Amino acid sequence: MDYHDVRGGCLSRPEQAAIDMSRTCLACSSVVVTAALVASVTARSIVMAAQASGVAAAPVPKLAAPIDLTGYWVSVVTEDWRWRMLTAPKGDYASVLLNPEGIKVANTWDPSNAVTDGCKAYGAAAVMRAPGRLRVTWNSDRELKIETDAGAQTRLLMFGNDAKPIGARTWQGHSIAEWETFVAFGQSPSRVGSLKVTTTNLRAGYLRKNGVPYSDAAVVTEHFDRLNSSGSEWLVVTTLVEDPRYLIQPFLTSTHFKREPDGAKWAPSPCERK
């Protein structure tokens, strides 16, 4: 695979510090995301026109986007290398605070299971940590699609749909998305933001390839942030996995992606073969 990784001589930041840095950089960024600005202005125009006619209308999520997440992104692995780039040994669940039941389940995993585990490590609670690429597109005005080449998974993030999930649980579950905006004083545009995604209705899977479990009761909350640094565009995904069945406390990670110019290196690899 041709993803980026940083080893030896590279500073490994604690995950919380990475999150703080990402949020701070986003708030302080002086870069104007032109597409997002045009979208915001267009969305406000739609709302004003609807209000003038006496009809209340919510902004179309695609047009109201404060940041542009579309395009191709490659993961940059600067932390948790041994768990993300390799399959860790059995019983290595350091930094994942499992309860006794979670430890019991993790200890039942055997390295020989790796060839038959299929997509267990590619569910929504873990797939963003898999080294590889993302392709982000709008499936419709109210549905953002994230495809991963690692595991060949497709996530559909739905805006304005608070309906409870129906049907069988899936690896990617039921994801509700919303834009979170805030005022950035002294810069243009004056309103910036991030994407919040809450995912439920998941199949039980692995937080790591060596059998560290999450259950079908898990809830995944993510924030997608954009920032620019050293002439490159970055996507930072902060993921919080809450699981009352296997975790003592939420499992928090911060995953970094760098924008690629096109899909020349896009090469999906399925986690299960039919």
pLDDT above 70 coverage of the chain, percent: 76
Indicate whether 3 belongs to any domain. no
pLDDT above 90 for 76: yes
Indicate whether 255 belongs to any domain. yes
For residue 53, give the amino acid letter.
Answer: S
Distance CA 98, CA 100 (A): 7
**Backbone phi, then psi, for 18, in 5-degree steps?**
-65, -40
Q: Which residue has the higher pLDDT, 209 or 28?
A: 209
Indicate whether 5 belongs to any domain. no
Helices (H), the chain: 15-28, 34-52, 61-64, 81-84, 100-106
| pLDDT value of position 162 | 75
Mean pLDDT of 234-249: 98
Mean pLDDT of 139-155: 97
Mean pLDDT of 130-158: 97
Burial 150-174 (b: 16+ CB within 10 A, else e): bbbbebebbbeeeeebeeeeebbbb
- Estimate to the nearest angstrom the gap between the alpha carbon of 93 and the chain centroid: 21
Looking at the chain, the number of H-run helices and the number of E-run strands are 5, 14
| pLDDT value of position 3 | 52
Indicate whether 274 belongs to any domain. no
Indicate whether 161 belongs to any domain. yes
For residue 126, give the amino acid letter.
Answer: A
| pLDDT value of position 230 | 86
| pLDDT value of position 66 | 95
| pLDDT value of position 161 | 74
| pLDDT value of position 186 | 66
Distance CA 242, CA 265 (A): 34
Which of 238, 195, 201 minimizes the C-alpha distance to 216?
Answer: 201
Report the number of distinct structural domains present in the chain.
1
| pLDDT value of position 163 | 74
Residue 146 CA: distances (Å) to CA of 43, 91, 164, 187, 269 = 23, 32, 21, 30, 15
| pLDDT value of position 208 | 97
Which of 43, 215, 75, 44 minimizes the C-alpha distance to 151?
Answer: 75
pLDDT above 80 for 19: no
Q: Which residue has the higher pLDDT, 265 or 31?
A: 265
Q: Of 34-38, 144-148, 212-216, which range is least confident?
A: 34-38
C-beta neighbour count of 40 within 10 angstroms: 23
Q: Which residue has the higher pLDDT, 28 or 65?
A: 65
Q: Could you report the per-residue pLDDT of 83-101, keeping only the tens digit for each?
A: 999 999 999 999 999 999 9
Q: How confident is the model at residue 266 (pLDDT cuts 50, 70, 90)?
A: very high
Indicate whether 270 belongs to any domain. no
Residues 6+ apart with CB under 8 A from 234: 226, 227, 228, 256, 257, 258, 259
Residues 6+ apart with CB under 8 A from 113: 211
85's tokens: 């780039």
Asked if 127 and 151 touch (Cβ cutoff 8 Å), the reply is yes
| Vertex 203: Cα angle to 113 and 96 (nearest 5) | 65
Indicate whether 273 belongs to any domain. no
Q: Could you report the per-residue pLDDT of 173-191, keeping only the tens digit for each?
A: 999 999 999 876 666 655 6
Indicate whether 203 belongs to any domain. yes
Stated pTM of the model: 0.78
Q: Which domain holds residue 38?
A: 14-262
